[in-house]
Structure 1
Amino acid sequence: MDQPTYDIVAIGNAIVDVLATIDDAFLTREGLTKGQMQLIDQARAKSLYQEMGETQVTSGGSAANTLVGAAMLGARCRMIAQVADDQLGEIFVHDLRVQGVTCAVPPREPVVETGRCLVLVSEEDGERTMNTFLGAAQFLPPDAIDEAEIAGAKVLLLEGYLWDPAEPRAAMQRAIRIARAAGRKVALGVSATFCIMNHHADFTAMIDAGEIDILFANEEEAVALAGSADVETALAALAPKVPLLVVTHGARGASAIESGVRTDVAAEPVAKVVDTTGAGDLFAAGFLTGYVRGLPNAASLKLGAVCAAEVIGHVGARPVADLKALAGGLLG
């Protein structure tokens, strides 16, 4: 097998986050369920934005957030995502580049604008309610997949949020075939419970076919995917089906199960939870960085916990502190 060019190549949404701190009464007025993510159309994105007050704009997208964290830890990363030829598209690509992540897909003409996520952060507890307009991201074509890039990555990371639209789903299916033929690892982040509900048959089929090497989920997602009553039953059902299962438990830490061996770590202490946006993304960043370096699961889980703790201590889904410094001796 040729030496890899990249540690992680990810396929995911090109999304720019627009964040505002709100009180829970705002959610009630807008008919929103706290803590949930919903897809919205362009008209709703514009009308909700008008009601949000002061905002902070920062690039986001689940897989992109993961790559930024991994790149900050020293991993070689490349992003495959579709933007439009507009200002938000320029912001998305620029923000990746300055963090050391290259982005592979040229912009499309802005018939549909670059995607955005309106993130409403509760001032009470930092919980985030996300309203996502996918925009150009849902038109990532299969021919955007470069065979050499996929075959040259230690890990191909797939973002579950992007499984809905037909074009990017076909692109990810093509990438899976390339990665498996090249003997590379495929990681899937199921992203959200609604993704599992919409695509349970597809996700289950991929897992049962042995196409997924690393599966990332939180407790709620694991329960939904396994169709179980509780998280421990879900772990018992899912673990034999994937070589490496990684499940986060919020404030109770995280678990990895590989070849029947379970490893648990506690969550890292946080002075105050300000914004939970990106916690799972940055956990995956730390874990995957440890994984591609060949670290034991305990160390990789610890790296994930360190990265997640950093991002929930401030507004926004990307780190502001030096993750390498926070990781200390974990990186070797």
Structure 2
Amino acid sequence: MKFPGKRKSKHYFPVSARDPLLQAVQSEQEEGSWVVGIDQTLVDIEAQVDNDFLTRYGLSAGHSLVIEDGVAEALYRELMRDELISHQFAGGTIGNTLHNYSVLADDRSILLGVMCNNIQIGGYAYRYLCNTSSRVDLNYLQGVDGAIGRCFTLIGEQGERTFAISPGQMNQLRAESIPEAVIAGASALVLTSYLVRCKAGEPMPEATMQAIACAKRHQVPVVLTLGTKFVIGDNPQFWRDFLRDHVSIVAMNEEEALALTGESDPLLAADRALEWVDLVLCTAGPAGLYMAGYTEEANKRKTDHPLLPGAIAEFNQYEFSRVMRQQDCEQPLRIYSHIAPYMGGPEKIMNTNGAGDGALAALLHDITANNYHRQKVPNSSKHVRPYLTYSSLAQVCKYANRVSYQVLNQHSPRLTRGLPEREDSLEESYWDR
């Protein structure tokens, strides 16, 4: 994507001699746009331990258990003292998504959540900050007296993995810590289902709903990633209603899609989800990636790609169209696209955690690029209608698929750099041919 963010290309003309019709507009606009997200800030901590260690802390080998804050602190101190920790990674699905967005776009994103007031060099909170892109703005984090979330992966003598989860203070984000101006200027508000389903008395759900209300007031698209099939499967109707009332874009995998819609076919699940939202991103493992959305009937564009069979015949017929919100269409038309895994998928999958977050980061990059272009060149033919994305659905699908591959091909769910050679040609829009 050629924007937003700083480019390194040379100017072969005097910068001061740009089109005089655009100069006035550019000087009045802000430099770029941003994405804002709310997350349960947590750190993934990996360590090698023996069976006595597990017994000492009441853990069952090979199982997952939520532990109290005091137990987590004692466990962590012993791991640090005996130098048993092999990795400490910043985690959280929204944190991962914003980090990857900022790496891809080379531009600003804003994270809302909590952070320890007291940060020890080398500790988990310190590692969270170190493992997050400097382009992610952390200035709006709310300080807490206590720990952020910690997920311990304890690898035993036989290689079995035991998980100990300590929520700490990660759900203590208060409604008064939601800055309206930050959300009002954003290209999207990104959330996860975990924010809504917290323990009674925790303030995170109230803060989340306040952020959603703020986004609605300012016509900012709300993006929801579904988390896990277990969260959705507990009460699918609640989530259908939540999507219909509050969400513009939903990101999910095929298991979450089944829990939400009852459809095992990812294409049919994406089609069903369009009853509640404007745009759907559904990763389907070895089957690739599906997207579904709406466009204006009069502006539909036929694909040059082969027409694909499926539960909906020739479903990708209009995948070269750009997505709009259903409410902005005079005659809404449903459009779909699919892409197989990039290069057949990695030869060896290093990490499945975060591939969907990477795909969502690519989608957010395209949405933000559209807003950026609208700010800079409001009279462009690309903005004759209020499109949601800059590129066609097929191109967004291709970009999301490529970023997913990059995440699958590395150990961490967070990108350390952009795509090789920036791959700008990957993002050439149908409309730019």
Calculate the TM-score normalised by the size of structure 1: 0.83
Q: Is residue 277 from structure 1 mapped to residue 344 from structure 2 by the alignment?
A: no
Distance 1:200 1:131 in 2: 27
Percent of pairs with identical residues: 24
| Equivalent position to 1:152, from 185, 192, 195 | 185
Distance 1:299 1:198, change over 3 A: same
Distance 1:220 1:133 in 2: 26
Once superposed, which parts of structure 1, at least 4 consecutive aligned residues long, lie more than 6 Å away?
A: 2-5, 47-52
Show the counterpart of 2:301: none
Give the superposition deviation at 1:217: 0.5
| Equivalent position to 1:235, from 270, 292, 316 | 270
Q: Is residue 188 from structure 1 mapped to residue 203 from structure 2 by the alignment?
A: no
The structure with the largest strand share of the pair is: 1
**Conservation of the 8 A alpha-carbon contact between 2:61 and 2:162:** no
Moved more, 224-233 or 152-161: 224-233
Q: Is residue 19 from structure 1 mapped to residue 95 from structure 2 by the alignment?
A: no
The structure with the largest helix share of the pair is: 1
Distance 1:310 1:20, change over 3 A: farther
Distance 1:179 1:39 in 2: 33
Give the superposition deviation at 1:228: 3.9
Distance 1:109 1:47 in 2: 19
Show the counterpart of 1:42: 69
Give the superposition deviation at 1:82: 0.8
Q: Is residue 57 from structure 1 mapped to residue 57 from structure 2 by the alignment?
A: no
Moved more, 86-95 or 239-248: 86-95
CA deviation string 1:168-213 (max 9, x = no partner): 111111111111111111100011122213564542222222x211
Letter in 1 for 2:359: F
Q: How many residues align?
A: 319
Secondary structure of the 1:139 match is coil
Show the counterpart of 2:299: none
Distance 1:130 1:297, change over 3 A: farther
Distance 2:65 2:32 in 1: 36
Show the counterpart of 2:114: 82
| Equivalent position to 1:141, from 163, 167, 174 | 174
Give the superposition deviation at 1:109: 4.0
Show the counterpart of 1:318: 414
Give the superposition deviation at 1:129: 8.1
For residues 222-261 of structure 1, the aligned pairs below 5 Å read 222-228=257-263, 230-259=265-294, 260-261=334-335
Distance 1:201 1:5, change over 3 A: farther
For residues 23-34 of structure 1, the aligned pairs below 5 Å read 30-32=60-62
Secondary structure of the 1:135 match is coil
Distance 1:225 1:212, change over 3 A: same
Q: Which structure 1 segments of 5+ residues have no match? A: 123-127
**Conservation of the 8 A alpha-carbon contact between 1:69 and 1:323:** no
Distance 2:67 2:227 in 1: 17
Higher relative contact order (CA 8 A, sep 6+): 1
Secondary structure of the 1:317 match is coil
| Equivalent position to 2:101, from 62, 70, 76 | 70
Distance 1:118 1:6 in 2: 36
**Conservation of the 8 A alpha-carbon contact between 2:279 and 2:292:** yes
Letter in 2 for 1:30: S
Distance 2:217 2:336 in 1: 29
Give the superposition deviation at 1:288: 1.6
Distance 1:4 1:40 in 2: 45
Secondary structure of the 1:194 match is helix
**Conservation of the 8 A alpha-carbon contact between 2:271 and 2:292:** no
Distance 1:328 1:131 in 2: 42
Give the superposition deviation at 1:232: 4.5
CA deviation string 1:215-234 (max 9, x = no partner): 00000001111234554543
Letter in 1 for 2:365: T
Distance 2:153 2:358 in 1: 17
**Conservation of the 8 A alpha-carbon contact between 2:153 and 2:164:** yes
Show the counterpart of 1:125: none
**Conservation of the 8 A alpha-carbon contact between 1:72 and 1:323:** no
Letter in 1 for 2:181: A
Q: Compute the RMSD of aligned alpha carbons.
A: 3.3
Q: Which structure 2 segments of 5+ residues have no match? A: 1-28, 295-333, 370-389, 429-433
Q: Is residue 93 from structure 1 mapped to residue 129 from structure 2 by the alignment?
A: yes
Distance 2:48 2:337 in 1: 36
